[in-house]
Amino acid sequence: GAVVSQHPSWVICKSGTSVKIECRSLDFQATTMFWYRQFPKQSLMLMATSNEGSKATYEQGVEKDKFLINHASLTLSTLTVTSAHPEDSSFYICSARAQGPRNQPQHFGDGTRLSIL
Amino acid sequence: DAKTTQPPSMDCAEGRAANLPCNHSTISGNEYVYWYRQIHSQGPQYIIHGLKNNETNEMASLIITEDRKSSTLILPHATLRDTAVYYCIRGGGATDSWGKFQFGAGTQVVVTP
Which pLDDT score, from 0 to 100, does residue A100 have?
A: 79
How far apart CA B90 and CA A106 sit, in angstroms, is 12
How far apart CA A43 and CA B35 sit, in angstroms, is 14
Cis? peptide before A8, omega within 30° of 0? yes
Say whether B98 and A4 touch across the interface (CB within 8 A): no
Chain A contact present for B104, CB below 8 A: yes
Chain A contact present for B46, CB below 8 A: yes
Q: What is the CA radius of gyration of chain B?
A: 13
| Beta carbons of B60 and B75 less than 8 angstroms apart | yes
As a residue count, chain B comes to: 113
Phi and psi of B48, rounded to 5°? -170, 160
Which pLDDT score, from 0 to 100, does residue B78 have?
A: 97
Q: What pairs with residue A95 in β-bridges?
A: A34, A108
Which pLDDT score, from 0 to 100, does residue B59 have?
A: 95
Phi and psi of A45, rounded to 5°? -120, 120
Which chain A positions have a beta carbon within 8 Å of B45's beta carbon? Answer: 108
- For residue range A9-31, what is the model confidence (pLDDT) as tens digits? 999 999 999 999 999 999 999 98
Q: How close B88 comes to chain A (CA, Å)?
A: 12
How far apart CA B20 and CA B13 sit, in angstroms, is 14
Say whether B96 and A102 touch across the interface (CB within 8 A): yes
Nearest to A43 among B32, B98, B103 (CB): B103
Which pLDDT score, from 0 to 100, does residue B1 have?
A: 62
Query: What are the pLDDT tens digits along chain B (113 aa)?
Result: 668 999 999 999 999 999 999 999 988 888 899 999 999 889 999 999 999 989 999 999 999 999 999 999 999 999 999 999 999 999 876 556 667 898 999 999 999 99
Which pLDDT score, from 0 to 100, does residue A89 have?
A: 97
Say whether A45 and B103 touch across the interface (CB within 8 A): yes
Query: What are the pLDDT tens digits along chain A (117 aa)?
Result: 789 999 999 999 999 999 999 999 999 999 899 999 999 999 999 999 998 888 899 999 999 999 999 988 999 999 999 999 999 999 999 999 988 777 889 999 999 999 999
Which pLDDT score, from 0 to 100, does residue A101 have?
A: 79
Which pLDDT score, from 0 to 100, does residue B28 have?
A: 85
> ∠ CA(A38), CA(A40), CA(A45), 5° rounding?
20
